[in-house]
Amino acid sequence: MKSYRNVPPLAGICSPQDALREGLPVDECVRRLKRYHYAFKRLHQTFTARIPAEPIYELKMAFSLHAHLCAEHVGDLRKRVGEMREPPLGLDVVPEPSLEIFFDEILSAPTTEELLLGLYARAIQALQAALQEHMAATNPVVDQPSVRVCRLALLELADIAAFGSQTITALGLNPPSAQQSEWLRLLDDALAAAGGLDGTKDRAAATLTRYYSAKPLQFNFVPRRDQRFADPFNMGVNAEAFIYNPDYPPDAKVLMMFFKRLREIDVPEMMASIIVETKGKPWEYYRAMSRQLWDEARHALMGEVGFASLGVDWTKAQVNFSFSYALNTMLTPLERHGVLYFIEQGLMPKAGKRFEYELAQAARNPISMLCQDYDWADEVLHAHIGREWYVADFKNAAEAKNFGDQSWSKMFWNYSKWADEGLTQHRNWWPDVYLEYCRQTGIKPDEKVLAYHETYETTRADLKEVTGSA
């Protein structure tokens, strides 16, 4: 195989020697791809299901990203299998009972520590090894589309694995405890009984006894937060009323917008429950919803970055979970989606995301301008996702929107209830945050801004009553 003037042959895919590799026949290639698909799908399920009840903020954010990435690779693998003489695809079939036990055990892990070990020290590593083996075994020319899927997946799995490794070290899980090691041996035995994740190894004879997954898993969608979130039921500061009040200056409004962005932690907590509890949808539904879930988590990260840019400690703001708590404990999955759609529609008019972007421009705050620019673009995408995957369940868009409005109103009474139960005093934390901002920036506090004290007692946390935009 001599090329013209040493131009790389074979489109630069590989060397002539590698192109002569015997490789995998189509049937074997598809068999392996289905197992990778199953692994990514179960990882997506686990990352998503554990978002609400995971208290550590950084893990909530990471699980949101990793669920999104897994959903993308599930979609890519489904597409590739569908290209390879596979009607019907059979992608909903469990490829191996012992693999099912392996992933069921990780999903059912009762503690954050064991969950991290199962995900990052076992499942992710096993999937990486399987994909690397596929690339080494298959013919890189004839199976180039599969190689591409594997390469892209490995690129992102490397990032996921690096995060997991650093987290395991940071939390003192390396080496694991004796109890954790015993459970990890069950995972190892399950993989060995399956012939490895890809099923290419000799199957070890083993009697597998379920441990954590012995009883049907009851998903816990009641949100939890770590100790930095001191008052998660606090609804004592109405961010929307402040931002849309023309009497307050743009720079103070930007500070409040950073709080609003960080507060969006509660959207992934709520969306996770919709995704897990909604059954029987095409995979594109779960893929799109997982993308939106990650976008909402990313918005929270924008808020964190915004506080840091101002030198303000975000923990002084009482970032609540009242939205996700109420929706997850009081509404059905469809009602939760309805509330999400209703709020998204309220953000589309000029008084919504465009207003926030223009407010950042007026304040001349470059970080806020950048965040609101992308936040606005994301919300346009999310409105489209809502139209495609939520409105379709109704006669028309008006009915869908009205259903969301009615669902939203079902939780409106919780302000006084939470106070009566002693869960919060709805303390006005705004003066502390604003004064720290003034100290960090060297500006004189505005007495009117400092005195702001409007709550959510009689106003919902959307734009319907604040601007009429909904």
Report the CATH number at residue 111. 1.20.1260.10
pLDDT computed for residue 244 by the predictor: 94
Looking at the fold, whether 169 and 243 belong to one and the same domain comes out as no
Residue 377 — very low, low, confident or very high, per pLDDT cuts 50/70/90? Answer: very high
Q: How far apart are alpha carbons 327 and 307 in whole angstroms?
A: 27
pLDDT in tens, 155-204: 999 999 999 999 999 999 999 999 999 999 999 999 999 999 999 999 98
Looking at the fold, whether 198 and 243 belong to one and the same domain comes out as no
Q: Is residue 371, in this structure, part of any structural domain at all?
A: yes
Looking at the fold, whether 118 and 196 belong to one and the same domain comes out as yes
Q: Which amino acid is at 454?
A: E
Let me know if 154 is exposed, middle or buried by CB neighbors in 10 A (0-12, 13-18, 19+): middle
Query: Can you list the alpha helix ranges (DSSP code H) found in 311-396?
Result: 322-330, 333-346, 355-363, 366-389
Select from 214, 230, 247 the last residue of a domain: 214
pLDDT computed for residue 87 by the predictor: 79
Looking at the fold, whether 208 and 260 belong to one and the same domain comes out as no
Looking at the fold, whether 200 and 314 belong to one and the same domain comes out as no
Across the range 309-323, mean pLDDT stands at 96
The token pair that represents 141 in the structure block: 């020319």
Looking at the fold, whether 150 and 31 belong to one and the same domain comes out as yes
Range of the domain at 26: 20-214
pLDDT in tens, 283-299: 999 999 999 999 999 99
Q: Which amino acid is at 79?
A: K
Residue 413 — very low, low, confident or very high, per pLDDT cuts 50/70/90? Answer: low
pLDDT in tens, 99-133: 999 999 999 999 999 999 999 999 999 999 999 99
- The three-state secondary structure class of 139 is coil
Does residue 470 register a pLDDT over 50?
no
Does residue 469 register a pLDDT over 60?
no
Q: What is the DSSP string of 154-209?
A: HHHHHHHHHHHHHHHHHTT-SSPPHHHHHHHHHHHHHHHHTTTTTT-SPPPP----
Residue 88 — very low, low, confident or very high, per pLDDT cuts 50/70/90? Answer: confident
Looking at the fold, whether 189 and 286 belong to one and the same domain comes out as no
Looking at the fold, whether 180 and 302 belong to one and the same domain comes out as no
Q: Is residue 124, in this structure, part of any structural domain at all?
A: yes
Residue 414 — very low, low, confident or very high, per pLDDT cuts 50/70/90? Answer: confident
pLDDT computed for residue 468 by the predictor: 43
pLDDT in tens, 21-67: 999 999 999 999 999 999 999 999 999 999 999 999 999 999 999 99
Q: How far apart are alpha carbons 339 and 462 in whole angstroms?
A: 10
Count the Cβ atoms, other than its own, within 10 Å of residue 80: 21
Contact call for residues 282 and 74 (beta carbons, < 8 A):
no
Looking at the fold, whether 301 and 168 belong to one and the same domain comes out as no
Contact call for residues 100 and 94 (beta carbons, < 8 A):
yes
The widest CA-to-CA distance across the chain, in whole angstroms, is 82
Q: Is residue 226, in this structure, part of any structural domain at all?
A: no
Q: Is residue 6, in this structure, part of any structural domain at all?
A: no
Looking at the fold, whether 312 and 181 belong to one and the same domain comes out as no
Does residue 351 register a pLDDT over 70?
yes
Looking at the fold, whether 210 and 245 belong to one and the same domain comes out as no
Q: Is residue 232, in this structure, part of any structural domain at all?
A: no
Q: Is residue 10, in this structure, part of any structural domain at all?
A: no
pLDDT computed for residue 58 by the predictor: 98
Give the contacts of 470 (CB within 8 A, at least 6 positions apart). 342, 343, 345, 346, 405, 462, 463, 464
State how many domains the chain has.
2
Looking at the fold, whether 344 and 439 belong to one and the same domain comes out as yes
Q: Is residue 234, in this structure, part of any structural domain at all?
A: no
Q: Is residue 192, in this structure, part of any structural domain at all?
A: yes
